[in-house]
Amino acid sequence: MLAAIGIDSMEGLLVDIPRSLRIPRLELPNGLSEFETMAQITSLADRNRVFPDRLTFRGGGVYRRFIPAAVAAVTSKPEFYTAYTPYQPEASQGTLQAIYEFQTLIAELTALDVANASLYDGATAVAEAAMMAFVHTGRKEVLVSGYLHPEYLDVLRAFGEGRGIKIRKGSEPTAKTAAVIFQQPDFLGLLVDAAGLTKRAHDAGAIAIACVDPISLALLAPPGQYGADIAVGEGQQLGLSPSYGGPHVGFIACHKDLVRRLPGRLIGESHDAQGRRGFVLTLTAREQHIRREKATSNICTNHSLCALAASVYMTYMGAEGMRHVADVSFKRAHALAARLTALPGWELAFPEQQFLNEFPIRVPKPAVMNRKLARRGILGGLDMHRWYRELKGVFTFTCTEVNDPRAIDELVEAVSS
């Protein structure tokens, strides 16, 4: 090829690079065969401890759930995972239709008008929603009510700081408040008065942002039902493995009045000259590649493949299936709570509040409990004291359809032994 280009060595192509910048070599070992590479990577994987699904009672934003084999069978198709963002619609209808279906699924689940193609995760979804409210209302304060996931709160703060948005804890919006953000169920697993918070936000002319658990929406009132303006959340439970925290997928849906403020990709229905239906990237005037510094967000690459996984999951489960696992999770969590509170020294931290399948409970021996459980192969509850000074000795425990009754017995036995 050099000859065809008309030069006699690679150097001829690197002439623009100042000599002083050239390095002799990369300070990295030489390459390895695939076999040796996999041996090295596998040895790293083997240095991690894997707790079995059924004995995992820890949640806190990432949950073990049944993942149909169908999900990986779809997302592992190279036609999906090795394609780029669908810039050329005629050659990308597979991805475009799948995302259009995802947008519909999320809109249905949240009972809102429009959802986007995906965001990075639940945390950045909360932050992007806050930015929407900030721009929409022109107000510089965002209220966070109750126990929002502490990491979501941190990310929200980091986003706010750049643009000088004040993030405050509280649920009493004023004329300065751009948005009220609440999580349903909250980080402790407890149900909050979403409708009430929404009303208060609206009364103050603020945007109501609900951060929701997608599985819970098969049972609980969706944001659209109580009038929230924006719904965001983390989609990990929709067919994605814990994977040490990522990649997962953030989703965002909103009322039609806010659609032009949405961050990220939007897919719309279209037609060709022969009247055949097709799908395209649309409303791009919101996006960075068109609007540059005036864009609603800087997001470009998002989490398409994770959104695809979530679509496969929701399509496979259907409304009945999701409702079923949500209800099974509810029953098992309540059965576990009953078993635990029957033990000496164990009591619900907020006995008067309802929960779904994750609940905060005060335990007698916080210091040793999880180490003891780990010895039995159990991943125990999550220590809330790590984030909340006021919750000393309080752990949240989670149950889903993967924690069979025998697993619950094993847990109860282990903590009481």
Partner 1 sequence: MTEPLSFEKSRPNAHAPRLPDADVTAAGAADVIPRELLRSQAPALPRLSEPEVMRHYSRLASMNYSISEQFYPLGSCTMKYNPVANEAAASLPGFTALHPYQDEESVQGALELMWRLEQALCAVVGVDRVTLQPAAGAHGEWTALRMIQAFHRSRGEARTEVLVPDSAHGTNPASAALSGFQVVEVASAPDGRISLADLEAKLSSRVAALMLTNPNTLGLFEREILDIAELVHNTGAKLYYDGANLNAFMGVCRPGDMGFDAVHMNLHKTFTTPHGGGGPGAGPVGVKSDLVPFLPTPTVERTNGHLKLDFKRPQSIGRVRSFYGNFGMLVRAYTYIVAMGGDGLTQASMDAVLSANYLRKRMEGLLDLPHEGPCMHEFVASAHNLAPNGIRALDVAKGLLERDFYAPTIYFPLVVPEAIMVEPTETESKATLDAFADAIAEIVKEAKEDPDKLHHEPHSLPVGRLDEVATARRINAYLLGQSEDPILRWKPAREQPC
Using an 8 Å Cβ cutoff, are 116 and 262 in contact? yes
What's the closest the beta carbon of residue 417 comes to partner 1, in angstroms?
A: 21
Tell whether residue 44 is a contact of partner 1 (CB under 8 A).
yes
What's the closest the beta carbon of residue 52 comes to its own copies, in angstroms?
A: 9
Q: Which is nearer to partner 1, 39 or 174 (CB)?
A: 39
Tell whether residue 272 is a contact of partner 1 (CB under 8 A).
yes
Tell whether residue 174 is a contact of partner 1 (CB under 8 A).
no
Q: Which is nearer to its own copies, 74 or 148 (CB)?
A: 74
Phi, psi (5° rounding) for residue 316?
A: -70, -45
Residue 392 interface partner, choices its own copies, ligand PLP, partner 1, none, CB cut-off 5-8 Å depending on type: none
Interface positions with its own copies (CB under 8 A)? 33-35, 38-39, 54, 66, 68-69, 73, 76, 78, 401-402
Q: Which is nearer to its own copies, 43 or 417 (CB)?
A: 43
24: number of Cβ within 10 Å: 5
Which tokens is 341 given? 């509170």
Tell whether residue 130 is a contact of partner 1 (CB under 8 A).
no
State the DSSP code for 283. -
Q: Which is nearer to ligand PLP, 87 or 244 (CB)?
A: 87
Residue 343 interface partner, choices ligand PLP, partner 1, its own copies, none, CB cut-off 5-8 Å depending on type: none
Amino acid at 232: V
Cis peptide before 185 (omega within 30 of 0): yes
State the DSSP code for 396. E
Could you please report the per-residue DSSP string of 348-380? ESSTTS-BSSEEEEE-S-HHHHHHHHHHTT-B-
As beta bridge partners, residue 115 has: 253
Tell whether residue 351 is a contact of partner 1 (CB under 8 A).
no
What's the closest the beta carbon of residue 208 comes to ligand PLP, in angstroms?
A: 29
Tell whether residue 174 is a contact of ligand PLP (CB under 6 A).
no
- The residues, any chain, with a CB within 8 Å of residue 339's CB and separated by 6 or more, are 408, 412
Q: Which is nearer to its own copies, 143 or 402 (CB)?
A: 402
Q: What number of residues does the chain have?
A: 417
Q: Which is nearer to ligand PLP, 17 or 300 (CB)?
A: 300
Q: Which is nearer to its own copies, 59 or 360 (CB)?
A: 59
Tell whether residue 316 is a contact of partner 1 (CB under 8 A).
yes
As beta bridge partners, residue 409 has: none
Which residue do the tokens 């000393």 mark? 392
Tell whether residue 301 is a contact of ligand PLP (CB under 6 A).
yes
Cα separation, 321 vs 300, in Å, equals 33
Cα separation, 114 vs 252, in Å, equals 9
Q: Distance between terminal CA atoms of the chain?
A: 73
Contact residue for partner 1 among 171, 288, 341, 353 (CB under 8 A): 288
Q: Which is nearer to partner 1, 42 or 174 (CB)?
A: 42
What's the closest the beta carbon of residue 296 comes to ligand PLP, in angstroms?
A: 15
Tell whether residue 149 is a contact of partner 1 (CB under 8 A).
yes
Interaction residues for partner 1, span 211-270 (CB under 8 A): 217-222, 225, 234, 241-247, 249, 256, 259-260, 265-270
What's the closest the beta carbon of residue 14 comes to ligand PLP, in angstroms?
A: 21
Using an 8 Å Cβ cutoff, are 279 and 97 in contact? yes
Q: Which is nearer to partner 1, 22 or 389 (CB)?
A: 22
- Measuring CA to CA, which residue among 83, 65, 73 is closest to residue 304? 83
Using an 8 Å Cβ cutoff, are 252 and 323 in contact? no
Cα separation, 221 vs 370, in Å, equals 34
Residue 177 interface partner, choices ligand PLP, partner 1, its own copies, none, CB cut-off 5-8 Å depending on type: none
What's the closest the beta carbon of residue 66 comes to its own copies, in angstroms?
A: 4
Interaction residues for partner 1, span 9-28 (CB under 8 A): 10, 12-18, 20-23, 25-28
Tell whether residue 300 is a contact of ligand PLP (CB under 6 A).
yes
Tell whether residue 298 is a contact of partner 1 (CB under 8 A).
yes
Which tokens is 285 given? 């005037």
- Measuring CA to CA, which residue among 234, 236, 183, 241 is closest to residue 211? 183
Cα separation, 166 vs 160, in Å, equals 7
DSSP, collapsed to helix, strand or coil, labels residue 332 as helix
Binding site for ligand PLP (CB under 6 A): 300-301
